[in-house]
Amino acid sequence: MDTFRGLTMAGMVIVNNPGTWDAMYWPLAHAEWDGWTPTDLIFPFFVFLVGVSLTLSNRTLTAAPWRIGRRAAIIILLGLFIAGFPFFDPHHWRIPGVLQRIGICYLAAAFVYRAVQPNRACTRAEMLRSFYVLGALVAVILVVYWIVLTAFGDLTHEGNAGARIDRALMGGHLWRERWDPEGLLSTLPAIGTALLGVMTGLFLVRPVANGGSSSGLRRTRDVAALAVIGAALFLAGQAWHVAFPINKQLWTSSYVLLTGGGAMIVLAACMYLIDIRGVRAWSRPFVVLGRNAITLFVVSGLIGKLLILINVPNGDGSRTSLQWVIYERGFAWIASPRASSLLYALVFLAVMYLICDALHRQGIFLRA
């Protein structure tokens, strides 16, 4: 889990901090609208892992409800802080955002999980029943979202039903003036992504039929089954694309299946390499990043913003952002524009890693 989360966070830092947005390799750029690139897998992978993590600790089931609400509120408030930083202009403060969506998905998935899985000390049949209830709920969410989006409005940036709701409720506080990729309505299928993570977690921690402990053989079979299920969902999402296009900005139902299936495949690969084959040396940097994921998100976001907002004088009296000066003088001359832009992003990631590694060595893990 930590390795997969760290891989996801490393990808996020790289794609969010290029040397220049004008020169990027295609896998590091989002699809313009319909379709997907590897970059479009990062956000849903993290939401998926939020769901998986809920099943791996008794705290989700035993904690007081207000503690779950407090954690969700902290995540949402951190997102609002980053959106407003450093000017905090109330007239143009973006309300939706990545952390805001993660907080809402965590809150919804945690309470759904508590409702269908009252305790960990349950029989295999009871856990399977929870699994089926969750599956039915995800199916309802995806079908209802499909109907709503296709029946009310179109699938364009400004004409989709979600954008119309966001303009009515949060006009002036969106990423774009008339729409936002993390809007209210599209958070509903994102909750479906988190619930797919919960289902995956339940599958991995379920009791064996005879009540015994997990064996190496069972773990191998689970990993293989997870990869097969993931591949089936990935292909189902690709097939649904014909009727309901894969679209990260709208978080379409086909996108949920494709990215949820992809996340299962990557998780299965990590489990196979680390848990079954014992190949672990490569994973340590990602474990370091994954165990302080929220810290990495917040710190990298604030530093990235500051580098753009801080202006330094040029020789002709004009001023340029500090980020551009660092890129132009330190990286742009090294290689082609795209390679130099990627090199800048990798160095930025290395700096973030050093910060997380220092925290990791001191046993400091900052969580909401």
Q: Nearest-CA neighbor of 207 among 115, 110, 112, 119?
A: 119
Q: How many C-beta neighbours within 10 Å does residue 302 have?
A: 14
Mean pLDDT of the chain: 92
Q: Give the separation between CA 276 and CA 228, rounded to whole angstroms.
A: 17
176 or 250: whose pLDDT is higher? 250
Residues 48-102: pLDDT tens digits? Answer: 999 999 998 888 888 889 999 999 999 999 999 999 999 999 988 999 999 999 9
Residue 134 included in any domain: yes
- Please check the confidence at residue 368 and state whether its pLDDT lies above 80: no
3-state secondary structure of 247: strand
Residues 128-156: pLDDT tens digits? Answer: 888 899 999 999 999 999 999 999 989 99
- According to the model, what pLDDT value does residue 207 have? 65
- What is the phi/psi pair of residue 251, to 5°? 50, 55
Rg (CA), the chain: 21
DSSP 208: P
Residues 13-60: pLDDT tens digits? Answer: 999 999 999 999 999 999 999 999 999 999 999 999 999 999 988 888
H/E run at residue 4:
helix 2-16
Residue 36 included in any domain: yes
Residue 305 included in any domain: no
Question: For residue 33, what are the domain limits?
Answer: 28-280
Q: Which residue has the tokens 């009252």?
A: 118
Residue 267 included in any domain: yes
- Please check the confidence at residue 327 and state whether its pLDDT lies above 70: yes
Residues 183-241: pLDDT tens digits? Answer: 999 999 999 999 999 999 999 887 665 544 456 788 899 999 999 999 999 999 999 99
Residue 315 included in any domain: no
Residue 182 included in any domain: yes
Q: Which residue has the tokens 């299965």?
A: 268
Residue 127 included in any domain: yes
Confidence of residue 295 (pLDDT cuts 50, 70, 90): very high
Residue 157 included in any domain: yes
Domain count, the chain: 1
Report, as an integer, the average pLDDT of 314-343.
Answer: 91
